Amino acid sequence: MNQKTEKNYKVFWKRITNYVSKFLPNTAQLTFNVRALNKKDVPFIWGKNQQNEFDKLKCLLCKPSTLAYFDLKKECLAIVYGCKRFEQFFFGQRFKVQTDHKPLVPIFEKPLNKCPPRLQRMLISLQIFDFKLEYIPGKLLTIADQLSRNFQKITDNINHEIVSAYVAMIEENLNISDNRLEDIKNETVKDIEQQEVLKYIRNGWPNNKSEVSESAKPYLTFNDELSEINGIIYKGNCIVVPYSRRKLMLQKIQYEHFGIEKCKRLARQLLYWPGMSKQINDLVEKCDLCDQYQNANAKEPMISKQVPQNPWEILSNDLFYLLEKNYYCRYL
């Protein structure tokens, strides 16, 4: 093994031991011969035993149990791990956390109930810390996570059983009947747009906007907020309503004739689809009953003056414009 290969190995192994060994079982026993190369005064000889251990290590790193998190979740999990690991130094102190994953910054600035369900559990565990999340480009970070720099794209479906067990509580707290949920789930299966979005949620969104299908582009700007629970798409804690049920939802939203703003507030607590606010606005504006009973602006009463008793007792002055330029001035 040449000097360059030896250097690459040591850099790789340092990052593995620093970041990934926590998630691998029996790392010390599995890599006994490989770790021996790191000892002082031991010649760097890469033999069959080292290669076998290295191949086993690569297989472990590619298993779903190790790669069970999407990029967004992995970045958030790294923050949780760092804060928990150094809790004795951070607790009660104001500190700064740097990340090279820019979409994570606006998520941390949102209220907890507005964050994606798959991240809420991690964010709850960070509530005891007082820190500010700051975006730093990856090239400026001193140490990068080895797996984030040398990753292999996995196309197999990942088991979300653990995550689903947590986010299922959202369904229980929704102000919606089980029959309605089942109906939305069935219509989601039939909706071409929803199925396209589900494909991106499960397999990941393309890096380039041009690679996203036209039907899914309205969801691209907030794709980090989208999640799937039992076949239904959620934006945060709101159900993404399939196209065939949007007209029905509009009728239920406007049933009480609350007016534009209140109808919008009620809808945003539970439902979402692209263009929902505009459709509510148009529906309420066309409703004769809403127009009849909406709060009108109060009219200002005319301010009357007491009738004067004598001539020239009350005088007033006004500024007006002369069309003809008389007396060397257009204004009086």
pLDDT for 241? 92
Higher pLDDT, 14 or 97: 97
Distance CA 213, CA 203 (A): 14
Backbone torsions φ then ψ of 115, nearest 5 degrees: -85, 160
Q: Which residues contact 9 (CB under 8 A, 6 or more apart)?
A: 1, 37, 46
If we measure between CA atoms, which residue out of 271, 267, 264 comes closest to residue 285? 264
Question: What is the average per-residue pLDDT within 220-245?
Answer: 86
Q: How far is CA 318 from the centre of its chain?
A: 59
Residue 272: band (very low, low, confident or very high) from pLDDT cuts 50, 70, 90:
very high
Question: What is the average per-residue pLDDT within 94-99?
Answer: 90
Of how many residues is the chain composed? 332
Q: How far is CA 217 from the centre of its chain?
A: 16
Angle, CA 137 vertex, CA 57 and CA 147 arms, to 5°: 5
Overall pTM surpassing 0.85 (yes/no): no
Percentage with pLDDT > 70 across the chain: 73
Higher pLDDT, 5 or 278: 278
The 10s digit of each residue's pLDDT in 5-47 is 666 666 666 666 555 666 677 777 777 887 787 777 778 777 8
- The domains of the chain, with CATH numbers, are 3-61 (no CATH), 71-149 (no CATH), 161-292 (1.10.340.70)
Alpha helix (H) ranges present in 175-239?
A: 178-190, 192-203
Look at the alpha carbons of 135, 137, 143, 145 in this order and tell me if their dihedral is positive or negative: positive
Higher pLDDT, 110 or 329: 110
pLDDT for 147? 47
Question: What is the average per-residue pLDDT within 119-145?
Answer: 79
Tokens of 40: 């002082």
pLDDT for 17? 58
Higher pLDDT, 315 or 6: 315
Lowest mean pLDDT among 69-78, 82-91, 160-169: 160-169
Higher pLDDT, 4 or 292: 292
Residue 298: band (very low, low, confident or very high) from pLDDT cuts 50, 70, 90:
low
Question: What is the average per-residue pLDDT within 184-203?
Answer: 90
The 10s digit of each residue's pLDDT in 211-221 is 888 889 999 88
Higher pLDDT, 122 or 8: 122
Contact yes or no for 272/222 (Cβ under 8 A)? no
Residue 148 above 60 pLDDT? no
If we measure between CA atoms, which residue out of 296, 303, 174 comes closest to residue 241? 174
